[in-house]
């Protein structure tokens, strides 16, 4: 299977990715995000595309840094941050997904009483990050082996944080690995944390809240409160698991 590094720009299998993203049922996805803080996109990538992205993990020309989780008490496993310019499929995902998620991000901030509003295009948001010294790219590939896991966390890299991000599973459960479920937790005020497991298959994506999201209170339409979310990956029992993380804000 060729890696994305060997595929010329615009070459299938990624050529129609922006139009695929535009054709997704965004009103339905927004309802899911409002209700639970996450939404699943089945089959965003096909098997060839997912394998191509996973296969580039060992091509260090594509990455700016490698993080071994155990060294930082993040869990077990490792990940690599892409360097600029991003590989074309990763850039297409970041650009097209941001444009569809920005209106929801603005609505969430308005409901939570937060003053920040996000521009229509990712290029404009990236300029805002860069002006604040957030210039390092944050899209990443994660690799787990047997016994590895990712502790619950939030991907906050600086002053400017886009409130949604996307993870795409590049490996097939039951064939490539066992265990390793994507896990979300939600902390509501004065309540215990609520966990959810997202049943991803190869090529599926999950859109989820980076930090806080609005929740409608029981006292009527005008009462909205904030809940905090974290995400992680449960322990792998066998095999290897690759994931693409699409984070829209850059890092300091």
pLDDT score of 9 more than 80: no
Per-residue confidence (pLDDT) for residue 193, from 0 to 100:
81
Per-residue confidence (pLDDT) for residue 221, from 0 to 100:
62
Mean pLDDT of 165-182: 98
Q: How confident is the model at residue 5 (pLDDT cuts 50, 70, 90)?
A: very low
Per-residue confidence (pLDDT) for residue 146, from 0 to 100:
98
Mean pLDDT of 172-188: 95
Residue 70, SS3 per DSSP: helix
SS3 for 155-177 is CCCCCCCCCEEEEEECCCECCCE
Degrees to nearest 5, angle at CA 245 with 126 and 184? 115
pLDDT one-digit tens code per residue, 81-129:
999 999 999 999 999 999 999 999 999 999 999 999 999 999 999 999 9
Show the tokens assigned to 1. 């299977």
Residue 246 C-beta-side C-alpha neighbours within 13 Å: 26
CATH superfamily of 25-246: q2cbj1_9rhob like domain (2.60.120.620)
pLDDT score of 203 more than 70: yes
Q: How confident is the model at residue 190 (pLDDT cuts 50, 70, 90)?
A: confident
pLDDT one-digit tens code per residue, 218-242:
766 668 889 999 999 999 999 999 9
Q: State the pairing for strand pair 224-233/182-187.
A: antiparallel
Per-residue confidence (pLDDT) for residue 222, from 0 to 100:
67
pLDDT one-digit tens code per residue, 19-76:
999 999 999 999 999 999 999 999 999 999 999 999 999 999 999 999 999 999 999 9
Q: List the domain boundaries for the chain.
A: 25-246
- Lowest-confidence pick of 3-12, 87-96, 117-126, 197-206: 3-12
C-alpha distances in angstroms, 18 versus 21, 45, 117, 122, 150?
Answer: 5, 12, 24, 14, 30
Mean pLDDT of 204-209: 98
Q: Which helix (H) or strand (E) holds 224?
A: strand 224-233
Per-residue confidence (pLDDT) for residue 11, from 0 to 100:
45
Across all residues in the chain, what is the average pLDDT? 92
pLDDT score of 3 more than 80: no
């Amino acid at each position: 299977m060729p890696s994305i590094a060997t595929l010329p720009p615009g070459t299938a299998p990624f050529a129609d990715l922006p139009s695929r993203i535009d054709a997704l049922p965004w009103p339905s996805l927004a309802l899911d995000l409002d209700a639970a803080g996450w939404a699943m996109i089945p089959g965003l990538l096909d098997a060839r595309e997912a394998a191509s992205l996973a296969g580039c993990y060992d091509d260090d020309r594509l990455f700016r840094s490698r993080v071994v989780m155990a060294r930082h008490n993040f869990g077990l496993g490792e990940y690599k941050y892409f360097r600029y310019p991003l590989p074309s499929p990763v850039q297409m995902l970041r650009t097209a997904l941001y444009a569809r998620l920005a209106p929801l991000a603005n609505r969430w901030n308005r409901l939570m009483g937060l003053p920040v509003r996000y521009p229509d295009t990712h290029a404009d948001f990236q300029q805002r990050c860069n002006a604040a010294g957030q210039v390092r790219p944050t899209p990443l590939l994660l690799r787990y082996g047997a016994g590895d896991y990712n502790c619950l966390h939030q991907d906050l890299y600086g002053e400017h944080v886009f409130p949604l991000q996307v993870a795409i599973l590049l490996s097939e459960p039951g064939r490539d690995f066992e265990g390793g479920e994507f896990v979300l937790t939600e902390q509501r005020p004065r309540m215990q944390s609520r966990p959810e497991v997202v049943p991803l298959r190869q090529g599926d994506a999950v859109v989820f809240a980076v930090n806080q999201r609005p929740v409608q209170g029981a006292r009527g339409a005008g009462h909205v409160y904030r809940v905090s979310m974290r995400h992680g990956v449960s322990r792998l029992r066998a095999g290897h698991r690759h994931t693409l993380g699409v984070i829209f804000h850059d890092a300091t």
